[in-house]
Chain A
Amino acid sequence: DQQVKQNSPSLSVQEGRISILNCDYTNSMFDYFLWYKKYPAEGPTFLISISSIKDKNEDGRFTVFLNKSAKHLSLHIVPSQPGDSAVYFCAASARGGSNYKLTFGKGTLLTVNP
């Protein structure tokens, strides 16, 4: 049972345009959500997070939106740059005793074309 789903395995965007990466979840106990960026043969790098008490969080070119009723979050990158080309993982953790554990989606490969 996949509790965090990234339904688009890949996304291609032109440099300077907006990249929108989507993520859906099924576990209503999730209350903290994160996005990670991963280059080949490297560990994932933490990008941005959002708590369930918010619906938006911004950090520079990166904005994460959370729609709790739809159990959906998205990562917007504006403007997209070629260096943003990587695999992006969505992750979530639940409140309570298992808050140590992150559940990851399978990732979306973003390609930003010059």
Chain B
Amino acid sequence: SQTIHQWPATLVQPVGSPLSLECTVEGTSNPNLYWYRQAAGRGLQLLFYSVGIGQISSEVPQNLSASRPQDRQFILSSKKLLLSDSGFYLCAWSVPRKSSGNTIYFGEGSWLTVV
């Protein structure tokens, strides 16, 4: 069966410091990979998605970047964090489908507090 893990689960970072959140998926090949964010009192916002190694698409302009160095590894980064980057970050995966029916499966989430 497929599993997804992301880490760290929680972190508190000062403004201006770098960020690296990592995510790995097991039990599947060539998945679509995603980074979502849930800010306080808001829904789930898609930040980045990737359909293959080195292929990253950004959905919203922001202070963050993403990379996919390996097929089942997805990394969310920032060179200098802002207070507004605080939130709950979720890595997710799905089986690529040409037609509809794209179900996304989420990891456990990472709480980021920028102070």
Name A residues whose Cβ lies closer than 8 Å to a Cβ of B: 31-32, 34, 36, 41-46, 49, 51-52, 89, 91, 93-95, 99-102, 104-107
Contact = CB atoms under 8 A, between A and B. Distances in A.
Contacts of A105: 43
Contacts of A31: 100
B51 interface: yes
Contacts, number: 65
Given A46-B105, A100-B94, A104-B44, 4 more contacts: A41-B109, A89-B44, A99-B99, A102-B46
B111 interface: yes
A43 B38 CA distance: 10
A91 B103 CA distance: 10
Contact of A44 (B41, B49, B51, B106): B106
Interface of B: 32, 41-46, 49, 51, 59, 88, 90, 92, 94, 96-97, 99-109, 111
Contact of B111 (A41, A44, A49, A102): A41
Nearest to B10: A41
- Residue with the highest number of chain B CB atoms closer than 10 Å, among A42, A46, A51, A100: A100
A91 B106 CA distance: 13
Contacts of A100: 32, 49, 51, 94, 96, 102
